[in-house]
Amino acid sequence: MTSGPKILAFAGSARKDSFNKKLVNIAAQGALGAGAQVTELDLATFRSRCPIRTSKPRRVFRRA
């Protein structure tokens, strides 16, 4: 039994209605149709331990 390629599909955007997510979904469906094993990853549900994302937002003070 020959298995198809394994593909991890994800878009670089975490926005809900991202065009990139839509394109990745279309490509993943095509890969499935061609016999690949596809795993889709949604970055919006992925928790990062990056200090930039987990730190509190900085306050920006503007002069009058």
pLDDT confidence of residue 12: 84
pLDDT tens track for 21-58: 999 999 999 999 999 999 998 888 866 666 555 555 56
Amino acid in the structure at residue 12: G
Instruction: Judge contact between 38 and 31, C-beta under 8 A.
Output: yes
Residue 1 confidence (pLDDT): 44
**Whether this model's pTM surpasses 0.75:** no
For residues 6-28, average pLDDT: 90
What single DSSP character describes residue 44?
Answer: G
Q: Tell me 59's DSSP state.
A: P
pLDDT of residue 51: 57
Greatest CA span in the chain, whole angstroms? Answer: 72
